């Protein structure tokens, strides 16, 4: 049961922490919003939200030692989930207005401007997920999720050549051109869309994450 799972929503100044808290609580988690290192390390799951600019989010994460928290949790196989810019900062770098900022480098790749006729990409869209995805388990292929962003990752650069290492599962959405919509990589999950704003479909995805904790 997911009801006894504890989740910390990392409070670093950039993110919809209250909506994330409410959505996780509805899914059955015990939720705390904090940047406290020890509490973030001790929780069953850590959720990293993000809204705004890549560079500003990275500055906020580093100020609260979030880079250490995320890295230490993942090195011990402790679940972490990033949402929106909280997903983007997990890549190697972000480029906004010609300025390049180092990310957390959990995955190779560059976050850049969406190449689409209408930006931002704002509203509901479907996601093409791998058939064996735990993230999207019990969700129909036509399930819709809420996006609001002007930047994304158009290329997935990580290749896994070791047969003993499970390759990340990558889901895609198209707005102008395809971009990474979600990643499931062992203890590290992330979504470009906002599950906490995606109604029943988002609630199912969050429950799927809680079931892994």
Other Cβ atoms within 10 Å of 35 Cβ, number = 19
Given the residues 84, 106, 149, 175, select the one marked as catalytic: 84
What Cα–Cα distance (Å) separates residue 147 from each residue in 42, 174, 188?
Answer: 31, 11, 20
Phi, psi (5° rounding) for residue 192?
A: -75, -30
Plot region of 126 (φ>0 → left; ψ -120 to 50 → alpha; else → beta): beta
57 is catalytic: no
106 is catalytic: no
Plot region of 117 (φ>0 → left; ψ -120 to 50 → alpha; else → beta): alpha
Nearest to 46 by CA among 72, 27, 26, 13: 72
Given the residues 21, 106, 184, 196, select the one marked as catalytic: 196
84 is catalytic: yes
User: Could you tell me the two tokens for 94?
Assistant: 């972000």
Phi, psi (5° rounding) for residue 66?
A: -65, -30
In angstroms, the CA 119 to CA 148 distance is 9
Catalytic residue set: 84, 194, 196
């Amino acid at each position: 049961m997911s009801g006894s799972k504890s989740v910390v929503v990392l409070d670093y100044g950039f993110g919809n922490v209250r909506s994330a808290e409410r959505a996780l609580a509805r899914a059955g988690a015990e939720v705390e919003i904090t940047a406290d290192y020890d509490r973030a390390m001790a929780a069953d799951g850590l959720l990293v939200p993000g809204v705004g600019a890549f560079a500003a989010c990275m500055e906020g994460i580093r100020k609260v030692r979030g880079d250490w928290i995320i890295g230490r949790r993942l090195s011990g196989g402790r679940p972490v989930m990033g949402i929106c810019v909280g997903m983007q900062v997990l890549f190697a770098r972000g480029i906004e207005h010609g300025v390049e900022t180092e990310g957390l480098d959990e995955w190779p790749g560059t976050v850049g401007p969406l190449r689409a006729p209408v930006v931002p990409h704002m509203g509901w869209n479907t996601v093409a997920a791998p058939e064996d995805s735990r993230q999207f388990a019990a969700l129909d292929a036509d399930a819709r999720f809420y996006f609001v962003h002007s930047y994304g990752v158009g290329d997935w650069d990580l290749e896994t050549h070791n047969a003993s290492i499970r390759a990340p599962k990558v889901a895609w959405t198209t707005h102008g051109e395809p971009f990474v919509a979600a990643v499931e990589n062992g203890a590290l999950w992330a979504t470009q869309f906002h599950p906490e704003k995606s109604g029943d479909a988002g609630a199912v995805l969050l429950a799927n994450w809680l079931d892994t904790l």
